[in-house]
Amino acid sequence: MENIKLIINFLGQLLPAINITLIVSVSSIVLGSLLGLGLAAAKQSQSIILRVLSSIYVSVIRATPSIIMIFVVYYGMPLLFSGWLHINIEGWNRMYFVIIALTLLFSAPVSEIMRSAYESISKGQMEAGLMVGMTPFQTFYRILLPQAFVVALPNFANSAINLLKEGALTFTIGVVDMVAKAQMIVANNSGGYAWQTYCALALIYWVISLAIDKGVTLVEKSYQAKRKTIAA
């Protein structure tokens, strides 16, 4: 009972730091999806160079540990910018470096998800759309995209949860997010109540990922209900 009381107490202390975690995750999900879309388009393109480059990028990113990526971006980008563009970015908010690193990490799986979702849709759909006189863009937007969206959704949510978990490494370069906050609390208690604090931390992450999971299941169900009505 004592432990549970402590955990609830620590929950209250940790929760204010949640906004850093959310800002980092949401902005890298948005930016990473855009980059992933570009990559997926590059993989579909006619040019061999683009195709090879994007597949090399994806396979390299896939084999990169997230912590190494964060460190390389954090220490490498200022050097790159001052060497090539003569801009000093050392003073940037450290959150930007994390967002860039996570964007790079997120874009690779997302590009694969988008590509496989796009390819899972029968080519006849595109042809039928063109046949009835829609423009290629209209066909893509009205016919292909809604179908591909449903296919991609579970995998996309899975990657988003992974990203959220990788975002917990933000503290390694000195951003005060929930993990850093938890470590501070432990330090303040001179190392006492460590596991209760970290359990509170884990609980918060667990709730967020369960919420994402449930939300996606609901959306999927609503889409399937629509599908059934059409079939009947």
Partner 1 sequence: MSLNTDFMVKVAQTAIQGVPVTLQIVLVALLISLPVGCLFALIRIYRVKGLEQIVKLYVSFVRGTPIIAQILIVYSAFPSLLNMIIGKAAFSINPIYYAYIVFTLNSIATLTEVFRSALQTVDKGQMEAGLMVGMQPRQTFWRIILPQALISALPNITNATLYLIKNSSLAFIMSVKDITAIAKTEAAFNYNFLEAYLVVWIYYLIICYSAEVIFYLLERYFSKFRRSTKKTNLFNWRPLSIKQPEVRAEADLTESERTNHAQNRGLKKRL
| Residue selected from 40, 113, 144, 157 as contacting partner 1 according to rule CB under 8 A | 113
Task: State which H helix or E strand residue 136 sits in.
Answer: helix 136-139
Q: How far is the CB of 10 from partner 1 (least distance, A)?
A: 13
Tokens standing for residue 3: 């432990």
State yes or no: residue 163 binds partner 1 (CB under 8 A).
Answer: no
Q: Smallest gap, in angstroms, from Cβ of residue 74 to partner 1?
A: 8
Measure the CA–CA gap between 84 and 114, rounded to whole angstroms: 33
Is residue 82 near partner 1 by the rule CB under 8 A? Answer: yes
CB 102 within 8 Å of CB 162: no
In the list 25, 28, 33, 66, the residue contacting partner 1 (rule: CB under 8 A) is: 66
- Least Cα distance to 123 among 108, 136, 105, 109 occurs for 136
- Count of residues of this chain found to bind partner 1 when the rule CB under 8 A is applied: 62
Cα 142 to chain centroid, rounded: 26
- Nearer Cβ to partner 1, position 58 or 103? 58
Kindly indicate which of the ranges 8-16, 92-100, 134-142, 154-162 contains the residues binding partner 1, using the contact rule CB under 8 A.
154-162
Residue 200 one-letter amino acid: A
Angle in degrees, CA 62, 64, 65, rounded to 5: 120
Tokens for 173, please give them: 């370069």
Per-residue binding letters, 122-151, with partner 1 (x by CB under 8 A): xx---------------------------x
- In this structure, are residues 61 and 104 in contact, taking their beta carbons and an 8 Å threshold? yes
CB of 222 to partner 1, least distance (A): 20
Q: How many angstroms separate the CA atoms of 122 and 69, rounded?
A: 37
Q: Is 160 in the site for partner 1 (CB under 8 A)?
A: no
- Residue 220 is a binding residue for partner 1 (CB under 8 A): no
Contact 144, 126 (CB under 8 A): yes
Q: Which stretch binds partner 1 (CB under 8 A): 23-31, 34-42, 93-101, 209-217?
A: 209-217
- For residues 38 and 53, is the Cβ–Cβ distance under 8 A? no
Interface residues with partner 1 (CB under 8 A) are: 46, 48, 51-52, 55-56, 58-60, 62-68, 71-72, 75-76, 79-80, 82-84, 108-109, 112-113, 116-117, 119-120, 122-123, 151-152, 155, 158, 161, 164-169, 179, 182-183, 186, 194-195, 198-199, 201-202, 205-206, 208-210, 213
